[in-house]
A and B are shown apart, each in its own frame.
Chain A
């Protein structure tokens, strides 16, 4: 069975502070994908990043960066110099690779509140 745990339910920061969201996953598969999605107050789910289990290189996209560590089964997400528009719920998700099944297993989400 697959499981994603986001231990932080809510994080509150002041604008321009950095914020790191933790994601720990469990899977018996040797190959899989990891994802982060953003859910702003309007409710939609916005895709942010996909990571292949073979690729442990960290990734940076603007103010966003991701740290994937297979040894600790973690895929953490950092927002640098946070802005009010970053206020949202962020979900980490896991998916098997290949035809074995393509459903996404989501974590419980972390609500980020960025105060001006």
Chain B
């Protein structure tokens, strides 16, 4: 069964450094998403992406964040200058259509020191 994959599974970085989190959505899916989950808290929406454009973003998704689909398979989340409060689990998800269920990847646990 096709799955969303994410790399790396864990990343440790220093405050102020740039990080890029990578995702490979399910191959025939057209809608892509990033969510984050601060330890012990609820899962929060960051951004949705369709047809090479951001279709919706939350207040969390400020200028420090960007997303890109650099090729036909990868979907990336970049955090330009990480802060301590960016430490969280970041989930990528994809759906075949806007109405369809979103399937999540295993997550990348980001720790900012």
Contacts and interface: CB of A to CB of B under 8 A. Distances in A.
A42 B9 CA distance: 11
Interface stretch (A17-25, A53-61, A64-72, A105-113): A105-113
A115 interface: no
Contacts of B98: 98-99, 102
A37 B102 CA distance: 10
Interface size bracket, A side: 20 to 34
Given A44-B105, A44-B107, A104 B31 contact: no
Contact of B109 (A43, A46, A98, A103): A43
Contacts of B75: none
Interface stretch (B15-23, B39-47, B76-84): B39-47
A5 to B, nearest CB: 11
A104 B35 contact: yes
B24 interface: no
A50 B56 CA distance: 21
Contacts of B42: 91, 106-109
Interface in B23-44: 31, 33, 35, 41-44
A45 interface: yes
A101 interface: yes
Interface string A74-99: 00000000000000000101000111
A102 B95 contact: yes
A91 B93 CA distance: 15
A102 B101 CA distance: 10
B104 A44 contact: yes
Contact of B104 (A42, A45, A102): A45
A103 B45 contact: yes
Interface string B34-70: 0100000111110010000001101000000000000
Given A104-B45, A105-B45, A108-B42, A47 B107 contact: no
Contacts of A44: 104-107
Contacts of B89: 43
Given A104-B35, A104-B45, A105-B45, A47 B106 contact: no
